[in-house]
Amino acid sequence: MSVVKQIAQVLLKQQKRKHRAECRSPVIKPAIVSKRKPDKEKPKRRKKAPPVFQITGKAKMFFVESEDKKVAFKVKWNGNKGVCSCDDYQQNHKGNGYLCSHITAVRDGQKKMSVLAQQSCKKTDDQIYAELSKDFPEDLILIRSDGLRALETIHVINRLNDVLGILNWSWKCSTPVLKNNEYVCAGRLDVYINGRNAYRQQIGSCRINSGDGFNLSHGEAQTGSIQMSLKKAASLFGIGLNQIYRANH
């Protein structure tokens, strides 16, 4: 090969390389590397829990919205186990305590509420009990016909709401039964304190005819037995324990 042809070939290869018509290496091609550097300080986005709404008038019953906010599922949560109306729970539940995302949202929401209402204020169990058992003003104490001191139910409910929070306690009772001129009702008070669930049970009764000429209707007597069981159960958590159900001196 003449010298002129060799120079021509070298010049042709240089022109091809200049215009990137061919790679320098026929086997390894240059890798495309992103010029953007990863931001290690930027926190990862966490998936937000679906919003939870409590059903008014029903203890431990909640509505949980779906991700697209087009459907709401009903969740029943008693503090330890949950039941959901979604397909995920219905297909996977086998009696082993399966938790779908909606039940988890309710559980975490209840724990968060307990933390906001109690632990964020750095209240210990003893401090919470001291607030529950704090004496009521004497002008709120009533004297019954039998001489015992009593307290209206609304004050007991307000004490539970103020100290524990509206979502950290629940009340359920049996249907009042008429026995010997009085209605009898069994009730259970559940409270959620510092991440733990506790309950107290008591029986309340209310007579239709008290014997002093004052008669109650059947509806009023049933309501009285329910309120009596609630107040007696609350007294086991210290509410009015040193003031009510004692003889007036």
Are 93 and 172 members of one domain? Answer: no
> Could you tell me if residue 73 is inside a domain?
yes
Structure tokens at 107: 């559980």
> What is the DSSP track for 70-117?
S-EEEEEE-SS-EEE-SHHHHHH-SSS----HHHHHHHHHHHHHHHHH
Q: Which of 117, 149, 173 is the last residue of a domain?
A: 117
Q: Which residue pairs from 29-33 have beta carbons closer than 8 angstroms and sit at least 24 positions apart in sequence?
A: none
* pLDDT category of residue 117 using cuts at 50, 70 and 90: very low
List the one residue out of 86, 132, 118, 97 whose CA is nearest residue 241: 132
Listing DSSP states for 205-223 in one string gives EEESB-SSS-B--HHHHHH
Whose CA is closest to 223, among 155, 173, 188?
A: 173
Q: Is residue 82 part of a domain?
A: yes
153 within 8 A of 231, measured Cβ to Cβ: yes
Whether 199 and 189 have beta carbons less than 8 Å apart is answered as yes
Number of other CB atoms surrounding residue 2 within 10 Å: 7
Number of domains in the chain: 2
Mean pLDDT score of the chain, rounded to an integer?
A: 75
113 and 145 share one domain = no
- Which structural domain, as residue segments, surrounds residue 221? 130-235
Domain boundary residue, one of 60, 90, 117: 117
Residues 6+ apart with CB under 8 A from 215: 208, 209
Are 152 and 225 found together in one domain? Answer: yes
For residue 248, name the pLDDT band (cuts at 50, 70, 90): low
* pLDDT tens profile 76-98: 877 677 888 888 888 777 566 67
Specify the DSSP class assigned to residue 203. Answer: E
Tokens of 128: 């919470």
Q: How confident is the model at residue 28 (pLDDT cuts 50, 70, 90)?
A: very low
Q: Tell me the whole-structure pTM to 2 decimals.
A: 0.52
| Inside any domain, residue 4 | no
Q: Is residue 139 part of a domain?
A: yes
Residues 203 and 152 both lie in one domain: yes
Alpha carbon distance 136, 92 (integer Å):
50
